[in-house]
Structure 1
Amino acid sequence: MGVLLGNQVLTLFALALVMNNYFGFYSSWSDLFGTEGSSAAAIVTDAEAGQGDPGTPSSKGVQIIGSAHVPLITTRKGHSGGRLEQVVISGATSRLSSPAYVYLPPQYFEKRFANTRFPAILALTGYPGDARNLVTRMNIPTVAAKAIDRNEMVPTIMVLMRPTVAPPRDTECMDVPGGPQVETYFTKDLRESMAGAFRVGTDAANWGVLGGSTGGYCALKMSMRHPEAFSSAVSLSGYYKAPIDATTGDLFGGSAKLQDENDLMWRLANLPQPPISVLVTSSKKGESNYKTTLAFLAAVKPPMQASSLILPSGGHNFNTWNREVPQALPWLAQQLHVPVGETPATPSASASPAS
């Protein structure tokens, strides 16, 4: 009986481990039990990259941990995929900090762009998420490098993170009354810290945000609530109203008004629509957000603009998002404006998802 019971426990443990490795729910035991701090372990530094480019030193708001080249398969000589920096980004106002990856396109290191500021995209995982999944499972830096090399998107800096900056709590990117100020961190602190460490634009027109699942809700909400921070957003399988459960706790401090303001369908029906562009994705078969996505699209009115990418089938997982990102990422980059006075290369042509 003891052996049979032990076999059952080990089998369940193995299945849980396989599921966690596939979906990336937790990256470590400390992450699972909520004891993980904000510091990030250093990745193996690429021998050619050294300890970082002199033009991108650590700053008060951004600590650079390591650096590696982004692979790019191309027949053109002299073309590279850019570089991926592992960092910790701290916020002066929110007093929050979180590990992240920063993708720098190859043009960032070219002499002709030495004084150029670039547009930027914040990419978010779902909850609880792991920023590494954006690199290893969704290959976002490689997808971006390929799109830039093919002139499908302008050279763009990317910040890859998870929305869980106050682990283990799922804040749904909220400024929680009496709790962590996550919305302030993403819409104010992160952009200021990035501008102090890298050559990124500082206007809303220079910034977009992309996310999957919880990250998709955060992307839509933060751009709708803060058009002064993000001018465009992509929601991959996102939802439109924050859940309340054991992982979130009380997000609204008992305020029905605050709860309404974070309900995206309520905002479309009751508040002036912001001058932003958004792309939402879903699947006719396999996604639970299909009907609400259609309702969201129908509710959008000018000056807000909405496009959609609807697959015939696809579940709520990395396989589906990997099919959507090669179209969604260039679409988002095309919505951004190059900082005034700057001249990154302009894409010649690119297909945009149609609504």
Structure 2
Amino acid sequence: MILIKNGKVHLGNGKILENADILIKDDKICKVESDIDEKDVDIIDAKGKEVFPGFIDPITHWGCLGSTFTDMDYEEKTDPVTPQMNIIYAFDAENCTIQELYKAGITTVGVSPSDSNVIAGQIAAFKTYGDSPYEMLARETVALKGSVTSTVKKTYGDQNKAPKTRMGISSILKNALEEAKKYDPSKEDVAKDEGKAILKKVLNKELPLIVSANTKAEIDGVINLFKDYDIDLTICNAFMAGKSKDSIIASNISLILGEQVNMQDHNDEIDLDKIIDIHEAGVNVSLSTSCDMGAGGQEGLLWNAINVYKAGLDSEEVLKMITINPGKVLKIDDKVGTIEVGKDADVVIYTNNPIECFDSSITHSIIKGKIVYCKGECV
């Protein structure tokens, strides 16, 4: 057992407990209160430090570049519609673990197929420390990934195949949904089709759909295309989301703002004031390191959070964008995203609040009840 003592505990739901203790047994949080007295425990003295739920990066490609970082196993560019593809078979545990994301407070990642296909495949959630995909797996098939970005047009335009245009992307996407709507495997004359079965789950709201869209035209196009479908929809990357503020607020979707620091093509279009307006209107807004080019560095998630904080949003609200909000998008908020009794013991400890203080540094990272990093030492 591990006992974290006397920390300033940020629960991840907007509440803070001063001088609080957290008792961890096996891989779960079993107590969160003051003055816990427990025998035979490993004590972490968090006095003067700040304690957070492990951060969640909801859309990444970590672990899918192979041992040489050149395999690009998250890209299947042979067909624009591949919902049957499952990212778990592309995930390389060693490739993810050596990134040491836990040193940046990231304990869970949503690992996604690329933006190359209109419907690219299934997203899975992984912990950021472990020896095998199945040890690290937090939950398989948490969402389906789609894209309407220019990456799709380039991928298939270079092959002189459809879709080469935005209208081609929309046509293929709508056709795939309509074919899935008609799919009924209970009929004797209907062949089993794994791809249509996955899309059917999206149409039945059993599985979320996360669609990459960068520009205002792409974002508005996605919202318009799906207005007649009652599905659980999230738009990610969304660099020009501010220009579509009103339609996003009105459409009952979620939003994942992609990696900002290295996206030079879109930096001038990112309006964080309007992103804050969208959040304050009740839209579930998350932050991520994802972009068309892959993923930002391990510090990218916190840089994004710092940018939103500097734009004027309260740090506890920003914290939600890298903890409970992405947990909700990936449907893993029953396990992670807040410090609560019964949830996975994913906890990070900093010298100060890293969203507010540039000079804050991480001292401990705990994943599933195991100390995987203690300042200066990987366990």
Instruction: Give the TM-score band, short-chain normalised.
Output: 0.3 to 0.5
TM-score (structure 2 length as normaliser): 0.36
TM-score normalised by structure 1 residue count: 0.38
Q: Which has the higher helix share?
A: 1
Q: Which has the higher strand share?
A: 2
